[in-house]
Structure 1
Amino acid sequence: MTSSTTKPALRIGVMMENVQLADVMGMDILGNLSVAHYEVGAAFDPSYTKWANDPVHMTFYYIGATLEPTGASPDIKYLPNTTYDDCPRDLDIILIGGPPPTHRPPQADRFMKEAWPKTRVWLTTCIGSMWLASTGLLNGKKCTTNRGLIDVAKKMYPEVEWLDQKWVVTKKEYDGTGGKGELWTSGGAAVGSEMIAKYCLENFNPAFVQQVALHSLALDEYPLDQFYKS
């Protein structure tokens, strides 16, 4: 069973070098909305056919400084399929996890600066926003980061307006077509997944997202509220 979708394909970059693996697990929410995931489900569950026009072709770019096995926490190695030097700059979405502040490879800095005006949607989880802030691209913008490190972020990057929220959405510079530039920054890993779920609900058929992506990950029971309760 194949999808009849004619939606444009999405190219998604994932910056996960030296990050906690949970920071980038929200990519599974996006991946569950792909044609590849749909075709697996439709092969054994006839009810999937009602979503035939909703899945999107997706290509994921797992980026590293080299193509050699690259570390993520805890003691995991992944195999990048592109490098910062070679990865396209004009992607549709870039997801950034949070490495420690000592991890600032110059290739990544150059990639972020060159891709910033060409990729429309940027998502950061945990202290991934601090990685992005190290480029100066977030100066003057409302953002958030891991709640326990907001004071540290304010000291390190005082020109960013750091907010104590689960996630913050703001406009960003974008030179391409297909909509306005969007920056979504979140707190720790769990609220990062909530943020990505919210992004998907706003940009795909919400019923499709709820059933195929969120229900299977038990995220449909989360409040998906961008403000902390206390």
Structure 2
Amino acid sequence: MTNFTRKLRIGVMMDTVQLSDIIGADILAGFRSESIKEAAAVAPELVGHLVDHAPDMEFFYLSSTLDLTGTTMGLKYAPNMTYDDCPRDLDIVLIGGPWPTHRPAAADKFMKEAWEKTPVWLTTCTGSLWLASSGVLKGYKATTNRQFIPTAAQLSPDVDWVARRWVTNPKPYTGESALKPEIWTAGAAGCGIDMVVKFCYQTFNPELIALAADEGMGFSADSKRGQDY
């Protein structure tokens, strides 16, 4: 468990992705300082002691432009930051799964430039294929949606693609952060949810995660769904 003394900046690459792939952003937001303060105002006897442990967070919802951007279900959202303008030295980047044909040049440039400046990267489903297309996963062990593993091997043969629910690797990092530099890649959306919950329990105050993920959303830390299918 780590105590954070500054605001965590989180980039979410979500244009043309399935919303279920980026549920990790909502899990993180569930225990940020703003959320816990709101919960403490309603139930101070249950949540009040956690207020000082909840980290501040800022979310950047990324796209190539600030125009309304679509997801696979047709829902449009308003990005609040472009790939070109987003800081490269974030704390966490979360990547959902777009179709393999979605490869904007600005996103490729962002991933390459932010890879060693941002300590933690989390991908779900074909989000790992998106990250791999930038070249930064060369030589890494990674996973994706199981049905896309043969496609992934063809598109990025320099990555060691394995059939696991999620895979974790240390990664290079040139900055200073309380976060452990790692790349986490997950299979389909349900695997990604379990992966993010696991990451959160390893990284943040477990009482906060139990409140936001387990009790709040029903994503149990006692789930028997581990890294293997």
Opposite residue 200 of structure 2, the aligned amino acid is C
Flag structure 1 segments of 5+ consecutive residues without an equivalent.
none
Opposite residue 121 of structure 1, the aligned amino acid is V
Matches within 5 A, 1:28-67: 28-46=26-44, 47-67=46-66
Opposite residue 68 of structure 1, the aligned amino acid is D
Matches within 5 A, 1:138-153: 138-153=137-152
Opposite residue 226 of structure 1, the aligned amino acid is Q
Query: RMSD of the alignment, in Å?
Result: 1.3
Matches within 5 A, 1:70-81: 70-81=69-80
Cα distance in 1 between the residues matched to 2:34 and 2:202: 21
1:93-140 superposed Cα distances (whole Å, 9 cap, x missing partner): 000011101110100000000000100000000000000000111110
Matched, 1:207 2:219: no
Cα distance in 2 between the residues matched to 1:204 and 1:115: 23
Other-structure match for 1:158: 157
Other-structure match for 1:9: 7
Query: Structure 1 residues 147, 138: closer, same or farther in 2, change over 3 A?
Result: same
Aligned-pair distance for 1:51? 1.0
C-alpha contact (below 8 Å) 1:195/1:224 kept by paired residues: no
Other-structure match for 1:21: 19
Matches within 5 A, 1:69-148: 69-148=68-147
C-alpha contact (below 8 Å) 2:37/2:51 kept by paired residues: no
TM-score computed with the length of structure 1 as normaliser: 0.94
Flag structure 2 segments of 5+ consecutive residues without an equivalent.
none
Cα distance in 1 between the residues matched to 2:4 and 2:201: 19
Aligned-pair distance for 1:213? 2.7
Identity rate, percent: 47
Other-structure match for 2:226: 225
Matched, 1:183 2:183: yes
SS of structure 2 residue aligned to 1:170: strand
Query: Structure 1 residues 94, 169: closer, same or farther in 2, change over 3 A?
Result: same
SS of structure 2 residue aligned to 1:17: coil
Aligned-pair distance for 1:7? 2.7
Opposite residue 201 of structure 1, the aligned amino acid is Y
TM-score computed with the length of structure 2 as normaliser: 0.94
Q: Which moved more, 1:153-162 or 1:209-218?
A: 209-218
